[in-house]
């Protein structure tokens, strides 16, 4: 408002000076003002002017005096205006011509556009930095998990007993036994099972029992045993686990009965302090009705009694309670379902399928590439990804699962348990699977814009992947 007043004042002053240019003339020996204020070039209609009595010089000198006084007033007003501008910090540019103001406006708009471009570049750089940081953090987590696993294996081999070690795990030292748990820990891609065709030939034998015993574990305040087991077949009877102290088995500390289907299951046991106060062995006992008979000096397997498979794999023994052992990796998300519960770890560093599967297995005995067997599970994974900007960006080209059709082209199986199996649930994208170039065998959560519907890709392609841990069956 002050700037507008000053500009207006300046304009009025300049207009007054331009218009008010009085002069004097003489008519009939009289001094006459022939110009009025605001009437430049227009003379009054003169009658008889008043005689000044001072002569011509007196008349003109009076007019000149008035002019000098008025100029002094104007100069003082301009001086005061400049002082007022300086006090307010107002530049005289406020009264510059319009074209200068327009140039300044254009320069300001260009500066704003430059700043906007810099901001967009900064946002892109920030997103890239966030992704790099997430990858580095994930790599550090994987390295820490690997180092922790190696350290725990060393503790287990050395037989450390300290109960404050939350993840002391590993294989006990070999005491020369032919069949012991150490074999299960050190053999990759193998498992132990009861062979219904082994042993003595007998026409009527039932409840045949196979035993697998560990070396002694030293006394400690607590122990936890975790293992995978498979019980499949009509002739399957039971799988029992004992904590053997001295020469007696006592009662089982864990048991499972009958046909449990083709999939593998996770077992978990907190060993009672009454056992752990002494040296003890962990003993697995598999009981079956299957047997073999010999006819005419040639072995013949009775078809009704060979439908049995009991197997165990990945036996881990921890010298602490099971509740002190994290079931899931740090940063994992947990799903509690009606029929099953799992936790999931999202790995944003792309890897080929086989490397992804290996990385998941290295996280622990219970970890594997994700197997999606229900809409509930699919929806949970999709929701988790969409809630994270990092996961959305990392998974724009898809997430690996444990599904593949290497066993039979076009028939995709889940392979997380070691025994391929099919699920009644699927979520294929339209036109998938299509086996382009006859070289697409791995199942990917591929189509981000369609709620990550499934597609098949080449297993050598590098993609992010999801590891799953099935929560234990107690």
Q: Which of the four pLDDT bands, split at 50, 70 and 90, describes residue 253?
A: very high
CB atoms within 10 A of CB 149: 17
pLDDT the model gives residue 467: 96
Residues 258 and 343 in one domain: no
pLDDT tens-digit readout, 78-94? 787 777 777 776 555 54
Q: Which of the four pLDDT bands, split at 50, 70 and 90, describes residue 336?
A: confident
Between 416 and 45, the higher pLDDT residue: 416
Least confident of 104-113, 239-248, 285-294: 285-294
Residues 315 and 388 in one domain: no
CATH code: domain of residue 196: 2.60.120.200
Name 257's Cβ contacts closer than 8 Å, sequence gap at least 6: 237, 238
Pick from 324, 342, 365: which residue ends a domain?
324
Q: Between the CA of residue 466 and those of 138, 232, 358, 363, what are the distances in Å? A: 12, 28, 12, 12
Residues 412 and 449 in one domain: yes
pLDDT tens-digit readout, 410-419? 999 999 877 7
Residue 45, classed as helix, strand or coil, is coil
Q: Which residues span the domain enclosing 226?
A: 169-324
Name 190's Cβ contacts closer than 8 Å, sequence gap at least 6: 313
152 is a domain residue: no
- Whether 235 shows a pLDDT value over 90: the answer reads no
Give mean pLDDT, residues 59-83: 72
Residues 398 and 430 in one domain: yes
Longest dimension (CA), the chain: 169
Residues 295 and 367 in one domain: no
DSSP 32: E
187 is a domain residue: yes
- Whether 21 shows a pLDDT value over 80: the answer reads no
Kind plus residue range of the DSSP H or E element containing 18: helix 2-19
Between 379 and 95, the higher pLDDT residue: 379
Maximum average pLDDT range among 141-145, 332-336, 361-365, 424-428: 424-428
Q: Between the CA of residue 3 and those of 75, 76, 85, 409, what are the distances in Å? A: 19, 19, 8, 83
Pick from 324, 346, 369: which residue ends a domain?
324
Angle at 229 between CA 226 and CA 232, to 5 degrees: 165
144 is a domain residue: no
Q: Which of the four pLDDT bands, split at 50, 70 and 90, describes residue 12?
A: very low
110 is a domain residue: no
Q: Looking at the 3D structure of the chain, how many domains does it have?
A: 3
The rounded percent of the chain whose pLDDT value lies above 70 is 65
SS3 breakdown of the chain: % helix, strand, coil, rounded to 5? Answer: 35, 25, 40
DSSP 200: -
Q: Which of the four pLDDT bands, split at 50, 70 and 90, describes residue 298?
A: low
Mean pLDDT of the chain: 74
pLDDT tens-digit readout, 434-457? 999 999 999 999 999 999 999 999
Residues 194 and 67 in one domain: no
- Whether 173 shows a pLDDT value over 50: the answer reads no
Phi, psi of 100 (to 5 degrees): -70, -40
Q: What is the CA radius of gyration of the chain?
A: 47
134 is a domain residue: no
Rounded Cα distance between 231 and 238, Å, is 8
Query: Among residues 415, 416, 418, which one has the least CA distance to residue 184?
Result: 418
Phi, psi of 73 (to 5 degrees): -60, -45
Least confident of 130-139, 331-340, 386-395, 418-427: 130-139
């Amino acid at each position: 408002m002050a700037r507008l007043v000053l500009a207006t004042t300046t304009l009025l002053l300049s207009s007054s000076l331009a218009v008010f240019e009085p002069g004097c003339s003489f008519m009939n020996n009289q001094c006459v003002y022939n110009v009025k204020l605001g009437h430049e070039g227009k003379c009054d209609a003169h009658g008889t002017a008043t005689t000044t009595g001072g002569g011509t010089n007196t008349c003109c000198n009076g007019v000149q005096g008035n002019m000098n006084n008025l100029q002094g007033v104007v100069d003082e007003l301009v001086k005061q205006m400049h002082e007022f501008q300086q006090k307010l910090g107002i530049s005289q540019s406020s009264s510059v011509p319009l074209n200068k103001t327009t140039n300044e406006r254009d320069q300001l708009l260009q500066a704003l556009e430059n700043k906007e471009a810099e901001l967009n570049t900064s946002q892109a750089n920030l997103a890239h930095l966030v992704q790099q940081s997430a990858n580095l953090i994930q790599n550090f987590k994987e390295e820490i998990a690997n180092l922790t696993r190696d350290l725990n294996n060393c503790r287990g081999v050395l037989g450390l007993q300290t109960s404050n070690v939350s993840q002391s795990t590993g294989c006990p030292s070999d005491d020369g036994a032919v069949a012991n748990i150490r074999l299960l820990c050190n053999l990759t891609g193998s498992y132990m099972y009861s062979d219904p065709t082994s042993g003595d030939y007998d026409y009527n034998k039932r409840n045949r029992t196979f035993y697998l015993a560990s070396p002694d574990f030293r006394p400690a305040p607590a122990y936890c045993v975790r293992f995978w087991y498979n019980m499949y077949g009509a002739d399957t009877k039971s799988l029992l686990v004992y904590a053997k102290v001295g020469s007696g088995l006592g009662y089982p500390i864990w048991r499972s009965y009958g046909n449990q289907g083709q999939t593998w299951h996770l077992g978990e046991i907190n060993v009672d302090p009454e056992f752990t106060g002494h040296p003890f062995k962990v003993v697995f006992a598999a009981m079956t009705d299957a047997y073999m008979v010999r006819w005419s000096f040639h072995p013949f397997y009775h078809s009704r009694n060979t439908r049995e498979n009991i197997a165990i794999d990945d036996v881990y023994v921890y010298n602490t309670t099971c509740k002190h052992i994290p079931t899931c990796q740090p940063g994992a998300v947990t799903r509690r379902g009606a029929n099953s519960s799992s936790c999931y770890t999202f790995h944003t560093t792309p890897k080929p399928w086989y490397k992804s599967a290996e990385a998941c297995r290295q996280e622990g005995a219970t970890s594997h590439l994700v197997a999606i067997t229900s809409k509930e599970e699919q929806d949970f994974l999709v929701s988790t990804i969409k809630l994270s900007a990092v996961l959305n960006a990392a998974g724009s080209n898809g997430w690996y699962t444990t599904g593949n059709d290497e066993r039979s082209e076009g028939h995709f199986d889940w392979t997380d348990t070691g025994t391929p199996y099919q699920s009644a649930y699927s979520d294929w994208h339209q036109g998938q699977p299509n086996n382009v170039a006859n070289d697409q065998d791995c199942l990917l959560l591929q189509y981000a814009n369609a709620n990550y519907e499934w597609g098949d890709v080449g297993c050598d392609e590098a993609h992010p992947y999801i590891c799953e841990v099935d929560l234990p069956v107690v």
